[in-house]
Amino acid sequence: MLPDLTSERERMVDRQIAGRGIADWHVLDAMRRVPRERFVAPGFEEFAYEDAPLPIEEGQTISQPYIVALMIGATAVKPGDRVLDVGTGSGYAAAVLSLIADHVYTIERHEALARTAERRFAELGYRNISVAHGDGTRGWPDAAPFDAILIAAGGPDIPQPLRDQLAIGGRLIVPVGTELHDQRLVKVVRRSAIEFEEEDYGAVAFVPLIGEHGWPETKPDRADRQRGRRRIKPAARLRSLPELIREAAEPLPDLDDPAAFGALFDRFAQARVVLLGEATHGTSEFYRARAAITRRLVETHGFTIVAVEADWPDAAAIDRYVRHRPYHPRTEPAFQRFPTWMWRNIEVDEFIAWMHKHNAPLSDPKGQAGFYGLDLYNLNASIQAVIDYLDKTDPEAARIARERYGCLTRWQRNPATYGRAVLNAGYAMCEKAVVTMCRELLEKQLDYARRDGESYLDAAQNARLIAAAEEYYRVMYYGRRESWNLRDQHMFDTLEQLLAWHGQEAKAVVWAHNSHIGNAAFTDMGVVRGQHNIGQLCRERFGEDAMLIGFGTDRGTVAAASDWGDPMEIKQVRPSHRDSYERLCRESGGGQFLLDLRRGRHEELRHELLGPRLERYIGVIYRPETELLSHYSEASLPRQFDAYVWFEETSAVTPLPAERREGVPETYPFGL
């Protein structure tokens, strides 16, 4: 049984369609009524309302929702119209059209697709659609003329039979181009028997239009491609994008020379917050590069906060070590939760050893560099940290905390099950108790802080984490947008708390994934899915006092799992997709370099990169077999980041051994 995705459909229409300028109420109403999940391949239902094309049978795709809406809106389909739909595919576009037009005629060259679509229409009750198996480039002469013709495949030119089958005043829309990645969406309006007007709607990428008046069944040869160049052609550039990147690229020193590497980033040191990304959670070069940059910012420019995409209680164990504070025994070693390799690796271990050494001669704690976690997953350790603190400072408050947190006790080891229980119960089971505990702890701030300020900060932040985590696990079953936004808001709030605690002159370095530190407002996660992130919140709060630096790679190896909770594997990273920013960087031939994307640096390059392109995101899970769907998203690189660090080929991090290493003291957080 398919899940009810009505709310996801409404959100798709509001954000992806209406939110991007489609105002035709006929289109909006029809797209609210057609269940797109019924038109995608089995197993892809959860992606049905993402703004992306999805694979279907016969090697074809179902177009992304926005493109379907754009094409219907551009042809101004209205009640009473007769419409020809070339390239039935799954039947989704024809279904949307059928809720507007009087009758829809749809042609598909793959018989299996045509028959499957016909069955779907019958099952869903769409009675005004006629389906034919045949060559769509010839049109449907017996049903012509048509008020609108929509062609969902790219040809070298506009098929003449389809022009001829337009009614006077009829509208046609078709992708035209010599290559899949070099098509333009062209609208044609027939003004008379011989007069046609054309309008260019911009770059698109469709499957090829195969047929007598399109491409041949085999790969088009050079002569075939040449005849497509007579019509709509993009303006020529004096220099290609890879050439512009090569001119702007600043070669990076070797990572074996961290001082020289870090010095290249002095230009960003005036900021109060420098956010350093990563395109994966398991790439050695990204960790080593961030370590080199952070060392420079700490040693030379007065940064004292290193805030990372890790849980607060785990990072607190590291912080006590690097700042030579008293050892605090834990029920379990730091960073034992999946994915352990993300922080328990040789690269982080070397950076932590450097922080410990750097802080050793600094007697004033305010001058020391601290290591802090921004994330909210480790509910169990946070509850224990609050109770341990109160046991020492306020035993009566500790007794009350045990009672209040007792509501969450049975969920501590697997807090995601709390969200499922809340969903079934229909109310927030523990919200009042954990919020009250957090509020009371904060209200006693001055008294507790006088006794031990650092310990109070740790306890207070753990209390905030518990409150945020309770809400996070409660809302995660309602949708990805709500849980994502709550998590990143918590990370940003934690960063603000750290800056406030350390004083007006405090400066912070943030380590997190590109998806967290790039400005989400200029990615489809923000534009389409309504998600914000710590990078966007920092830009809005600090303006140019926040520097957002992304990282990327073309190929190599990465430490990742195949599914959540699965064992870590060393996986091969596929070479980047041809339509991605990564491919442009690779084709520049620069090897490893820094691109400064701020205004006034390389304006021609910045302008050419503004249009959205694909960008790769690999987290703790990597599925190369579905990479385009699973790991690519659209973004505007110069608006997303202030700078971009590129390594053409990268290697996986090296996890630390599970057993205790010889000679490592008990107090060392990575000792086990």
| Between residues 3 and 587, the one the model is more confident about | 587
Which of 230, 263, 295 is a domain's end point?
230
CATH value at residue 578: 3.40.1660.10
Tens-place pLDDT, residues 225-234: 444 443 433 3
Bridge-based pairing of strands 183-190 and 196-204 is: antiparallel
Per DSSP, the residues of 190-240 read E-SSS-EEEEEEEEE---B-BSTTSB-SSPP-HHHHHHGGGS--PPPPSS-
CATH value at residue 76: 3.40.50.150
* pLDDT class of 395 with cuts at 50, 70, 90: confident
For residue 20, is it within any domain?
A: yes
pLDDT at residue 557 above 70?
Answer: yes
DSSP classification of residue 515 = H
Of 113, 109, 99, 300, the closest CA to residue 211 belongs to 109
Residue 236, pLDDT score = 41
Q: What angle do CA 68, 71, 74 make, to 5 degrees?
A: 145
* pLDDT class of 657 with cuts at 50, 70, 90: confident
For residue 315, is it within any domain?
A: no
Range from 41-45, 333-337, 403-407 that averages highest in pLDDT: 41-45
Q: What angle do CA 414, 484, 346 make, to 5 degrees?
A: 70
SS3 149: strand
Which of 182, 200, 230 is a domain's end point?
230
Q: Are residues 102 and 214 in the same domain?
A: yes
For residue 364, is it within any domain?
A: no
Q: Are residues 598 and 648 in the same domain?
A: yes
Angstrom distances, CA of residue 94 to CA of 53, 71, 79, 115, 335: 16, 12, 14, 14, 51
Q: Are residues 166 and 274 in the same domain?
A: no
Per DSSP, the residues of 161-197 read HHHHTEEEEEEEEEEEESSTTSEEEEEEEE-SSS-EE
Residue 213, pLDDT score = 92
Residue 201, pLDDT score = 85
Tell me the two tokens of residue 200.
């260019």
pLDDT at residue 603 above 70?
Answer: yes
Of 162, 157, 161, 151, the closest CA to residue 109 belongs to 151
Residue 64, pLDDT score = 84
Q: What angle do CA 534, 537, 542 make, to 5 degrees?
A: 115
For residue 641, is it within any domain?
A: yes
For residue 528, is it within any domain?
A: yes
- The residue whose two tokens read 């560099």 is 369
For residue 465, is it within any domain?
A: no
| Between residues 455 and 26, the one the model is more confident about | 26
Residue 464, pLDDT score = 62
Q: CA dihedral in degrees (226, 231, 232, 234; nearest 10)?
A: 40
| Between residues 471 and 143, the one the model is more confident about | 143
Residue 427, pLDDT score = 45
Angstrom distances, CA of residue 452 to CA of 455, 465, 483: 5, 20, 34
Cross-strand pairs, 210:
215
Which of 182, 202, 230 is a domain's end point?
230
Q: Are residues 244 and 209 in the same domain?
A: no
Q: Contact 557/295 with Cβ under 8 angstroms?
A: no
Q: Are residues 158 and 215 in the same domain?
A: yes
User: From the CB of residue 354, how many other CB atoms can be counted at a distance below 10 Å?
Assistant: 18
pLDDT at residue 428 above 70?
Answer: no
Q: Are residues 43 and 125 in the same domain?
A: yes
Residue 447, pLDDT score = 54
Residue 229, pLDDT score = 42
CA distance 138 to 212: 7
CA distance 611 to 204: 12
CA distance 286 to 261: 13
Q: Are residues 251 and 147 in the same domain?
A: no
Q: Are residues 205 and 270 in the same domain?
A: no
| Between residues 649 and 526, the one the model is more confident about | 649
Of 14-18, 83-87, 329-333, 612-616, the one with minimum mean pLDDT is 329-333
Q: Are residues 526 and 561 in the same domain?
A: yes
Asked about 63 being catalytic, the answer comes back as yes
For residue 52, is it within any domain?
A: yes
| Between residues 113 and 668, the one the model is more confident about | 113
Residue 659, pLDDT score = 60
Count of domains observed in the chain: 2
Q: Are residues 151 and 294 in the same domain?
A: no
* pLDDT class of 478 with cuts at 50, 70, 90: very low
Q: What angle do CA 274, 278, 283 make, to 5 degrees?
A: 135
Q: Are residues 672 and 641 in the same domain?
A: yes
Tell me the two tokens of residue 286.
């990204």
For residue 343, is it within any domain?
A: no
CA distance 393 to 592: 52
The percent of residues above 90 in pLDDT, for the chain, comes to: 50
Catalytic one among 63, 284, 515, 588? 63
Q: Are residues 579 and 643 in the same domain?
A: yes
User: Based on C-alpha coordinates, what's the Rg of the chain?
Assistant: 28
Average pLDDT for 391-414:
58
Residue 234, pLDDT score = 39
The chain-wide mean pLDDT, for the chain, equals 83
* Cα four-point dihedral sign 128, 131, 137, 141: negative
pLDDT at residue 25 above 70?
Answer: yes
pTM for the full predicted model: 0.62
| Between residues 101 and 54, the one the model is more confident about | 101
pLDDT at residue 466 above 60?
Answer: no
Tens-place pLDDT, residues 481-516: 666 787 788 889 889 888 988 888 999 999 999 999
To the nearest 10 degrees (0 to 180), the angle between helices 65-74 and 25-33 is 140
pLDDT at residue 172 above 70?
Answer: yes
Residue 11, pLDDT score = 87
Of 549, 520, 517, 536, the closest CA to residue 642 belongs to 549
Average pLDDT for 164-183:
85
Q: Backbone phi, then psi, for 575, in 5-degree steps?
A: -55, 150
- Per the structure, the complete domain to which residue 575 belongs is given by 238-303+507-672
Q: Backbone phi, then psi, for 511, in 5-degree steps?
A: -110, 120
The percent of residues above 70 in pLDDT, for the chain, comes to: 77
